[in-house]
């Protein structure tokens, strides 16, 4: 009987020890999850604050550019335009080769990309992207309206979904409208435009 009680005591102690260790392990995991959740919320707040600061800087920059242009016009000054280096025998164009699917809403983003043809130094120009829903919206964000072009003329970025997508080849000094009802026409700082319907899912 004593042996049985001893064995029962050992087993019970082992079980209780396991349950206790499991309990403390589970509590430690819960505290870690809460700690990580707090860190994520803090990072989200910092990101939101930085995006607001960036948007403010973009708006201030656009305002300064408009003021400079107004002063130049007032003084009769004509801003010097960047000369376009064209490749002989090639028509200047921009194409969209990677087309996002059809959709709507600010939550989903997909890759978009394409090619610039006809420039001797395409990397000195920019792409402005738009997605159309109820109107055209600059992509991927109003705080980041310009997309880089590499030396081979390739460009890529992300875009929110829409029913149609557009890419504008522009001079780097161009300030695009954020949400126009109609796309800006070619001319001035806008050198070429490409429009494609959204890809079916």
List the chain domain ranges.
1-79, 93-197
Evaluate whether 84 touches 119 at the Cβ level (below 8 Å): yes
Is-contact 109 162, C-beta < 8 A? no
- CA distance linking residue 157 with residue 167, whole number of Å: 11
pTM of the model: 0.62
Give the pLDDT of residue 154.
97
On whether the 93-197 domain is CATH 3.30.70, my answer is no
Strongest mean pLDDT among 5-9, 30-34, 158-162: 158-162
Q: Predicted confidence band at 192 (pLDDT cuts at 50, 70, 90)?
A: very high
């Amino acid at each position: 009987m004593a042996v049985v009680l001893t064995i029962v005591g050992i087993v019970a102690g082992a079980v209780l020890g396991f349950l206790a260790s499991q309990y403390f392990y589970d509590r430690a995991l819960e505290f870690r999850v809460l700690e990580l959740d707090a860190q994520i919320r803090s990072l989200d707040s910092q990101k939101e604050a930085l995006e607001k600061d960036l948007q403010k800087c973009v708006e201030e920059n656009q305002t300064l550019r408009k003021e400079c242009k107004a002063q130049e016009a007032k003084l009769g000054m004509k801003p010097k335009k960047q000369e376009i280096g064209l490749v002989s025998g090639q028509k200047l164009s921009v194409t969209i080769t990677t087309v996002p699917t059809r959709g709507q809403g600010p939550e989903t983003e997909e890759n978009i990309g394409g090619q610039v043809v006809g420039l001797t130094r395409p990397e000195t120009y920019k792409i402005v992207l738009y997605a159309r829903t109820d109107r055209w919206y600059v992509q991927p964000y109003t705080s980041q309206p310009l997309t880089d072009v590499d030396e081979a003329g390739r460009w890529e970025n992300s875009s929110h979904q829409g029913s149609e997508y557009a890419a504008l080849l522009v001079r780097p000094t161009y300030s695009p409208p954020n949400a126009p009802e109609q796309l800006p026409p070619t001319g001035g700082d806008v050198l070429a435009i490409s429009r494609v319907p959204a890809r079916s899912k």
